Structure formats: structure tokens, C-alpha cells
A = this chain, B = another copy of it.
Amino acid sequence: MTPQAKDLALLRTLPLFAPLSDETFAKLAGSIRFDRYVKGDTIVRQGDQAKWVMVVLEGFVKLTRLSANGEETLIHIFGRGETFAESVAVLGDKHTTTAEAASPTRIVRLPAHVVAQAAREVPELALSILHESSAKIWALMDEIEALKAQTADQRVLRFLLSLVPAHATSAEARLPYTKGVIAASLGLKQETLSRSFARLKSIGIDIDGRMVRIADADRIAAEIERLNRIV
């Protein structure tokens, strides 16, 4: 399999494309474009016309918003296999966020008009885009819930828990992006995250540079619980 064929195979398995017939998929795949970005590159700019549906093949993309005062607020992070800009692109709207590579990143883009046209012809595609949007809504609701109802430590613990493979009880993992970005994604300052990590050493969480070692995942869940009760 050539590298590109591999990428296409990955695409085919994504929720966005999986329900499509081979024929429809082939039509879409015909107009695909591959891109590479280095950390810090801007992929799409807030306010620009959306012309492409994007899929992350490798690396991480951070969505940010420019606030009135010029500061940027991190809204969400996308990783391998995740789609973004799909709804704006299909609807012909403008980007409401900026997307920037948070690490070396490869993405695939499909021209908006091709996808939009196909969505009109093939109801499955429209529904699977809707499905993606729906999933995004849930993810954003999760974030809001976390920001409103959880303390810094709880959010950090939840994040760490997400690094542990399902059913595993202990884990050794690499932080997916820099601590600064992790902090921003959790709605924290870098210093606060650093202090939080330091505190969490006592419950079997060891962070050394980019490596995390989690002794007991259940203990993390228990600690999130405990922090709830204290209040």
C-alpha cells in the first residue's frame, strides 16, 4: 500500500465516510488534496470563506477564537481521524474559528462544493455530516460542563484519564501536545497545570517531560469523585 492509499483506507473507515457507497466515496476521493503543516502553521483563518472539509490524518489541530482584546482562546483540539470545518464548508459559511497546527500535522482536504453537491445527492452523506456535527455538540457540551462544574484538578484528572486505554488499569503514555496547549484546552494557565501535576504525584501520577505514568486509573476516577464530595 502506498502511503496515500493507506490514508485513503483510513478515510474510508471514518464515521463521516463509512456509510457511503464505494461509488460515492470514489467520487469524493477523486478531488482530495493532501497537506503537511509544521507546528504553529495556520490552517484556516477565522473569517475566511470555508472552501474545504478537513480531516486530520496525523498530529493535532487546535481551534482558537480571536477575542475582542486580541487574545486567542482555545476552543477545541482535533486529533487523528477527526473532521473539522465540515458543516461550515457544506453550508458555504465563513470560518468562525482559526485552526492551527499544534504539532507536525498532516491533513486531507476535500473541496467544499464537491462535498456539498454530494450531500445533496446522497442523503447518507448529509446524515453522516450531521452525525459529526452532533458529536461535536456533545463534545462542546462536555467542555462547558467541565468548565462550569469542575475544579482545575478534576479537569486535569479527566484529561489524564482520557490517555488511559479503555479497560487498562495502569498506563504509560506520551502527552499528546505541549503542556501550554493542554493547559489552555482545560481552561487553565500553564502555571496552574504545572502545580496541579505536582499535587497529583501523591496519587500515583508521574509526569516526566512528555511522559506520563499512571499507576492506577481507578484511583484517578476515585479522586475525581472525592473532589466532588469535598464541596
Contacts and interface: CB of A to CB of B under 8 A. Distances in A.
Copies per complex of this chain: 2
Interface in A85-137: 87-88, 90-91, 93, 96-97, 119-121, 123, 126-127, 129-131, 133-134, 136-137
A140 interface: yes
Given A96-B138, A126-B123, A91 B131 contact: yes
Nearest to A136: B137
Contact of A147 (B133, B136, B144): B144
Contact of A133 (B65, B68, B75, B130): B130
A93 B120 CA distance: 23
A119 B123 CA distance: 8
Interface stretch (A25-33, A53-61, A222-230): A222-230
Interface in A130-159: 130-131, 133-134, 136-138, 140-141, 143-145, 147-149
9 contacts: A65-B141, A73-B149, A91-B131, A96-B141, A119-B127, A120-B127, A130-B133, A144-B147, A147-B187
Name the 4 nearest CB pairs between A and B, nearest first. A69-B228, A126-B126, A140-B140, A87-B134
